[in-house]
Amino acid sequence: MSVLKEKKILLGITAGIAAYKTASLVRLFIKLGAEVKVVMTPASKDFITPLTLSTLSKNPVHSSFYTKEDENELWNNHVELGLWADYMLIAPATANTLSKMANGVCDNLLLATYLSAKCPVYFAPAMDLDMHAHPSTTESLEKLQSFGNLLIPATSGELASGLMGEGRMAAPEDIVSFIEKDVLDTLPLKGKKILITAGPTYEAIDPVRFIGNHSSGKMGFAIANVAASLGAQVSLISGPTNQQAKHASIHRVDVTSAQEMHTAVHLCFKEMDIAILSAAVADYKPKNIATQKIKKAAGSLDIELMPTKDILASLGKVKKHQFLVGFALETNNEIENAKAKLKRKNLDLIVLNSLKDKGAGFATDTNKITIIDQDLNKINFELKSKVLVAEDIIKEIILRVNK
């Protein structure tokens, strides 16, 4: 899955022959799962039509501060467009527009939007070789980069003039790859290996029945997806669940029992930088598993149980450089029990859930947590969606890992 999935990309198009390539650019961004809006300079419409771009992006295309054809003369708010975007790309960026950007000229909607943007701004120059080599263009390129804008260099080849040389806008595929790589390089978990456990475990009674719990795996999968979106390589070890991982950088291992999860976790733990154990692992399992289905009888059925291996405690004993995070689901004396678990199992962080909190716990789409660190500092969070809770958890981990 691309790091651009679900990102908002604002594409600015200026009046160069390379504008025809922007149709392919929009299609590539959409295929990667991004949302695209387009702002054009008025003159750029001579090279590619707004109809083409609005059809491909599935969003209206803006080129002026208000729509003259609309009887209501709807205002196109450049500030809103600039704040909407996660990333802005100006392609092609002509010598004229580069000079205006570098010197703060603001005579069209695209330039006003550029000056309002709070997000990273990429620009891909396109012009004839002599224009590209002119000292004024070089000065504009250097000035824009000094502002923090990101240059996607022009390439060499046959130009619209028929000449051969530098000035061609980079190919759409190369532009997308450039942005993906740049985004990935800036992600806070790039290069980090993270182990995450999720879901329940099932402990067999006989070939048909098992002891389990109500865990859906939603919380663990949300954490895995957030971690992967921030650049981590994720090993997700999951008990039985219908949840699906959303990122290609998530390596999923399916297990059933606590023993299988224990084995899988210890196989990869040494290579990990961070381990987040959110699975609801069974504390007990049947001492003897029947080889045949137990028939229903008139009397009661007694099943002798024995403790399962404590996966979290076993990792706490062998951890070296790893940052270890556990979960505590409590029904009484929540804070005291969580603090005791944090110390007893040698954790760096513990995430506390209370079943007393409405909307928290198993099988819901929301959760309410308290995070406690090694110094017993306590951070309380409001009830949120599990995706937002996952973001809070990962944020607190990053703050401590990157100290």
Fold matches, 8-186 and 193-287+304-401:
yes
Global pTM value: 0.77
* Alpha-helix runs per DSSP H in 273-375: 311-318, 334-344
Q: What is the pLDDT of residue 181?
A: 92
* Alpha-helix runs per DSSP H in 147-283: 172-186, 218-229, 258-268
Q: What is the pLDDT of residue 73?
A: 55
Active-site residue list: 213
283 burial (CB, 10 Å; 0-12 / 13-18 / 19+) is middle
Q: What is the pLDDT of residue 164?
A: 82
Candidate CATH numbers 3.40.50.620, 3.40.50.10860, 3.40.50.1950, 3.30.450.20; the one for domain 8-186:
3.40.50.1950
Distance separating alpha carbons of residues 200 and 321, to the nearest angstrom:
27
Q: What is the pLDDT of residue 361?
A: 66
Grouped pLDDT means (10 residues each) for the chain, 403 residues:
87 95 97 95 95 96 74 67 94 96 94 94 94 94 97 88 85 96 91 96 95 93 94 96 89 97 97 97 94 86 93 96 93 90 96 78 82 94 93 96 80
Distance separating alpha carbons of residues 79 and 109, to the nearest angstrom:
10
Q: What is the pLDDT of residue 166?
A: 86
Phi and psi angles of residue 174, each rounded to the nearest 5 degrees, phi first: -70, -35
Q: What is the pLDDT of residue 75?
A: 63
Pairing of strands 284-286, 121-125: unpaired
Q: What is the pLDDT of residue 297?
A: 80
Residue whose entry in the numeric block shows the structure tokens 């003159």: 43
CA 100, 105, 107, 109 dihedral sign is: positive
Q: What is the pLDDT of residue 3?
A: 82
308 DSSP 8-state letter: P
Q: What is the pLDDT of residue 371?
A: 96
Q: What is the pLDDT of residue 332?
A: 84
The CATH homologous superfamily for domain 193-287+304-401 is CoaB-like (3.40.50.10300)
Spans of all domains in the chain? 8-186, 193-287+304-401
Q: Under a CB-based contact definition with an 8 Å cutoff, are residues 280 and 308 in contact? A: no
On the CB side of 147, CA atoms within 13 Å amount to 23
Residue 386 CB neighbours (<10 A): 21
Distance separating alpha carbons of residues 369 and 357, to the nearest angstrom:
9
Q: Under a CB-based contact definition with an 8 Å cutoff, are residues 335 and 370 in contact? A: yes
Distance separating alpha carbons of residues 27 and 32, to the nearest angstrom:
9
Q: What is the pLDDT of residue 68?
A: 61
Residue 279 CB neighbours (<10 A): 27
